[in-house]
Amino acid sequence: MYEHEGEKYFVVDAHIALWDGRASNQKNIHGKQFIDCFYDYHKNLSPTDAVWDYDTYTYYGGQRLLKDLFEDGYVDHAIFQPAILGEFYRTGFGQTEEALELTRQNPGRLTYNHAWDPRFGEEGLKQLREDAGRMNLKGVKLYTAEWHGDSRGWKLDDPWSRRYLEECLELGIKNIHVHKGPTIRPLDRDAFDVADIDKVATDYTDLNFIVEHVGLPRLEDFCWIATQESNVYGGLAVAMPFIHTRPGYFAQILGELLYWIGEDKILFSSDYAIWTPKWLVEKFVDFQLPAGQSEYGPITVEQKKKILGLNAAALYDLDVPEELRLPTDAGDTDAEVAAGAKEAVAS
Amino acid sequence: MSTVTPAAKTSLASEVTAALATVVDPELDEPITDLGFVRSIRIDDVGVTVHLRLPTSFCAPNFAYLMAADAQDALRRVPGAGRVMVLLDDHHDSDRINAGLALNAGYRGTFGPEAEDSLDELRRIFQRKAHTAAMERCVMALLRTTDRKLEDLHELTLGELPGGPHKEALLRRRTDIGLGIGPDDLVVVDEDGRPVAQSAVPLRLRYAKAVRVSVEGNAHFCRGLLATRYDDEPGGLTTHITDTRRAS
């Protein structure tokens, strides 16, 4: 919980990781390139006093995670969104068992989301059923640009992917987080393309599709789709840190999101450990859209409360203390989204 | 490092630089020379060798290939350049792309079965986005600086736009996607150049704004990451130019 100027905010960090990018876990040069790329993101967009040394960054472990999020970072609840990257790392990049154990040890504070890949076919479906039970899955993080053998990726509307989505419906895994951001080892055709989200969001209205990194660098395509689909959400991971380095630009992203998808569909996340939540939460609560731009803002305290935690809490049925609650349409698939934009698009 | 060169040599080096400045990052809509993507230019008796670099090892290989191939084409058009070699450094597909370029293998020939036959459609998607963003910049500047009203923007023509970098950029983008650049051509058009009805103009501009924010955001990312990635390198993001060609 974060308290500032008499207002209390319930904070959900909707995208965190417990990774091992150390040389000992790297399978090949791409494992090194991947963690180095993450470290450049971290160095480039963090405030100087929040920059870690490289060795700590490659592996920080569970205790450091708990401290950064819950002791220092004001976070009430955090959700693991792992990238597996089995072709780059011996035990995967995201540390499944370690994160799962940490989740068990900290009931109510952590949620573990796992991943699936439709290219594993029937075997993968079987695995998903086992994982859902063992991991108590409420959500998954999908990485459509992951390499698998000769394939450079897949799409959410591939026939096998649809079978997995149907299985998610059966298993009660209702939150489908999809990485649609700055690309990594992409497939050639649609590394950033969000069109597949459009198709499956229409077909699976009982699932929530959370587009991580708000589709940057295809923000407009994401907004256009999300305006028309009430079960499409935007995760602010990677967009968040611009609040420090380029606040004017962050205002434009946030302004566009509020216009197109509305305050009930935007989720805060630090993308820990790329960035730590403490400074992001502080800056976000202090943040204001520029008064000079009449088409934006001002952003209200209520909107900030929803974005910082209440929307994600609704998607994950988290228990929010009475005094911190607000009504939100998040999770309500019949709710109108960004009514102004939606009407304009429909006409 | 640049070497001190006689006038004749400087001319070739500047022609090479000018040729590279015509190559744009399709996503960012900015010249690779402005973005710091040209790491070095070496001119010798045999030809011209250019090394390119990108913000991360994982920049999309299709865009990486587009820029490297465009650079190769642009350099081959420089008279007297000799043998042209373009090499992409520090990318996860560097070896593959460099070999493909050396063999003129084309995109599909370089990447194999999962690649599209050609990158023309991809290029066109981003040219359209660049046009949409450029249109928004022109129109918003006009609304800010004149008493022109949103209600009559559907009638706005290119001839009514004040000159300057925004307009020049718009005309270039229009040419790229085959739209007219005459003074009577309409400014606010859809992606195929068709007029936009008066009632649809506000949404068209709103969408155009989201496109602009998206393109600019990616540019912020890429510039920042490139600077972080190469901040230890002597000379930072400047282009190292070496010219050892003997005057003929």
Residues A117 and A148: beta-carbon distance below 8 Å: yes
What pLDDT band is residue B1 in, cutting at 50, 70 and 90? very low
Q: How far is B15 from chain A (nearest CA, A)?
A: 33
The C-alpha angle with vertex B136 and arms to B135 and B139, in degrees rounded to 5, equals 85
Give me the residue from B57, B59, B114 closest to A187, CB to CB: B114
The string of DSSP codes covering A223-266 is: HHHHHH-TTEEEE-TTTTTHHHH-HHHHHHHHHHHHHHT-TTSE
* Contacts A189 to B, Cβ<8 Å: 114, 116
Give the pTM: 0.90
Q: Do A150 and B229 touch (CB under 8 A)?
A: no
What's the CATH number for A2-313? 3.20.20.140
User: Domains of chain B by range and CATH?
Assistant: 3-116+224-247 (3.30.300.130), 119-196 (no CATH)
How many C-beta atoms surround the C-beta of residue A99 within 10 A? 23
Q: Is the pLDDT of residue A113 over 90?
A: yes
- CA gap A131, A120 in Å, rounded: 14
Give percent of chain B with pLDDT exceeding 70.
94
Range with lowest mean pLDDT among A45-54, A55-64, B228-237: B228-237
Q: Which residues of B touch A184 (CB under 8 A)?
A: 58
Per-residue confidence (pLDDT) for residue A61, from 0 to 100: 97
Flag if B92 and A185 touch (Cβ within 8 Å). Answer: yes
| Element at A142 (helix H, strand E) | strand A139-142
List pLDDT tens digits, range A264-291.
999 999 999 999 999 999 999 999 988 7
Cis preceding linkage at B26, omega within 30: no
Report CA B67 to chain centroid distance, whole Å. Answer: 8
The mean per-residue pLDDT over the stretch B208-226 comes to 88
What is the per-residue pLDDT across B156-203, written as a single tens digit (0 to 9) for each? 999 999 999 899 999 999 999 999 999 999 999 998 899 999 999 999
Kindly list the residues from chain B whose CB atom is less than 8 angstroms away from the CB atom of residue A341. Answer: 206
Contact A33 B92 (CB under 8 A): yes
**CB-CB contact of A214 with A207 (8 Å):** no
**Across-strand partners of A110?**
A78
A280 vs A332 pLDDT, higher one: A280
Q: In this model, does residue B86 exceed pLDDT 80?
A: yes
pLDDT tens figures, A313-331 = 999 999 999 999 987 777 7
Say whether pLDDT at B248 is over 70: no
| A117-167 residue pLDDT tens | 999 999 999 999 999 999 999 999 998 888 788 777 888 999 999 999 999
Cβ-based contacts of B116 with chain A (< 8 Å): 188-189
Contact criterion met (CB < 8 Å) for A217 and B116: no
CB of A84 within 8 Å of a chain B CB? The answer is: no
Please, which residues 111-150 of chain A have a Cβ atom closer than 8 Å to chain B?
Answer: 150
Contact A217 B224 (CB under 8 A): no
Pairing of strands B30-31, B24-25: antiparallel
Asked if A174 and A165 count as a contact pair (C-beta separation under 8 A), the reply is no
More confident residue, A305 or B115: A305
Euclidean distance between CA atoms A245 and A118, whole angstroms? 38
Q: Say yes or no to pLDDT of A347 above 70.
A: no
Alpha helices in A67-192 (DSSP H): 96-105, 121-135, 159-171
Q: Is the minimum CB–CB distance between B115 and chain A shorter than 8 Å?
A: yes
Q: Domain extents for chain A? A: 2-313, 317-347
Q: Taking the CB of residue B228, how many other CB atoms lie within 10 A of it?
A: 18
CA dihedral B241, B242, B247, B248 (to 10 degrees): -90
Closest alpha carbon to A124 in A103, A145, A148, A92:
A148
For residue B217, give the nearest of A44, A151, A217 by CB distance.
A217
Q: How far apart are CA B160 and CA A64, in angstroms?
A: 60
Q: Which two tokens stand for residue B145?
A: 């600086």
Which of A30, A192, A256 comes nearest B92 by C-beta?
A30
pLDDT at A90: 96
Residue A187 clears pLDDT 50, i.e. is over it? no
Asked if B240 and B41 count as a contact pair (C-beta separation under 8 A), the reply is: yes
**Which of A175-189, A307-321, B214-228 is modeled with the greatest confidence?**
A307-321
Are A37 and B210 an interchain contact pair (Cβ–Cβ within 8 Å)?
A: no
> Between chains, do A183 and B206 touch, taking CB under 8 Å as contact?
no
Q: Where are the alpha helices (DSSP H) in A152-239?
A: 159-171, 195-203, 219-228
Chain-chain contact of A188 with B114 (C-beta, under 8 angstroms): yes
Mean pLDDT along residues A62-91: 96
Partner residue opposite B217 with nearest CB, options A40, A253, A259: A253
